[in-house]
Amino acid sequence: MEPNQRPVRLLVFGRQGAGKGTQAVRLAERYGVPHISTGDMLRAAVKEGTEFGRRAKEIMDAGQLVPDEVMLGVISERLAQDDAASGWLLDGFPRTLQQGKDLVALVGEDGIDLAVDLEVPEEVVVERISSRRVCSECGAIYSTAAPPSSPWTCDKCGGQVVQRDDDTEEAVRERLAIYAEQTLPAVAWFGDQGLLATVDGTGDVDDVTERLVAAIESRVG
């Protein structure tokens, strides 16, 4: 794939298990823009000891969720860095309607080219995640469809292969419900602004990337 030199500013939405992280990395490479993930940003801000980083650390150390205005501060600092001057891809932000409105207020109405929403049916992501099994020693990933050759002993290290607590169907459905409650209103709002493209996230990873690129090209090309 040839990188497209046109600067793009993209948001990527998608619930857990939709393949958002994988596609975000691919799109950022394709367009030559930084892949900015909220988790990475928070860790970097904490490490660098910025004002927002220190506040965020205090809040997280107290076991609380980082408030919208703190998140926005971290995003604002990140987007001001040189590598984001001509484009960026945000992954994991905005997570709420308020964060979405804050972002538009920060970058301006023309400051976002497109938000893409990776659409994968709930039953598909529940199956993807709840079938996952992980080596408790080395972290190697298996699934009920592709187990280690000697169940359930890791082929790589001999460790025990287990289902993580976070990967049970109950835990997955709980997180999907939180996404539906907190994030879908933000997705819908970007739709109302005429900034949203919904893309089929099922099937082959390369095919999904091409669908995303087609949606972006039809907007910014």
Q: Which is nearer to Zn ion, 106 or 138 (CB)?
A: 138
Type of residue found at 25: V
Closest CA to 179 of 13, 68, 23, 60: 13
Integer Cα distance of 124 and 211 in angstroms: 19
The answer to the question of residue 151 lying near Zn ion (CB under 5 A) is: no
- Shortest distance, CB of residue 49 to Zn ion, whole angstroms? 36
Q: Which is nearer to Zn ion, 60 or 140 (CB)?
A: 140
Which residues make beta-bridge pairs with 34?
none
> Of 20, 55, 57, 133, which residue is the catalytic one?
20
Task: Clarify whether 173 is annotated catalytic.
Answer: no
Q: Among residues 157, 178, 205, 214, which is the contact residue for Zn ion, using CB under 5 A? A: 157
Q: Among residues 137, 166, 181, 207, which is the contact residue for Zn ion, using CB under 5 A? A: 137
Q: Which is nearer to Zn ion, 92 or 159 (CB)?
A: 159
Task: Clarify whether 9 is annotated catalytic.
Answer: no
Strand ranges in 72-211 using DSSP code E only, listed in sequence order: 88-91, 114-119, 132-135, 141-143, 161-162, 196-200
The answer to the question of residue 142 lying near Zn ion (CB under 5 A) is: no
Q: Among residues 53, 94, 100, 159, which is the contact residue for Zn ion, using CB under 5 A? A: 159
The CB density around residue 88, as the number of other CB atoms within 10 Å, is 24
- Shortest distance, CB of residue 160 to Zn ion, whole angstroms? 8
Considering only residues 76 to 135 of the shown chain, the ones binding Zn ion according to CB under 5 A are: 135
Q: CA dist 143 to 40, 128, 132, Å?
A: 27, 9, 4
Closest CA to 183 of 66, 73, 100: 100
- Shortest distance, CB of residue 157 to Zn ion, whole angstroms? 3
The answer to the question of residue 141 lying near Zn ion (CB under 5 A) is: no
The CB density around residue 185, as the number of other CB atoms within 10 Å, is 13
Integer Cα distance of 130 and 33 in angstroms: 33
Which residues are marked as active site? 20, 95, 132, 164, 175
Site for Zn ion, rule CB under 5 A: 135, 137-138, 140, 154, 156-157, 159
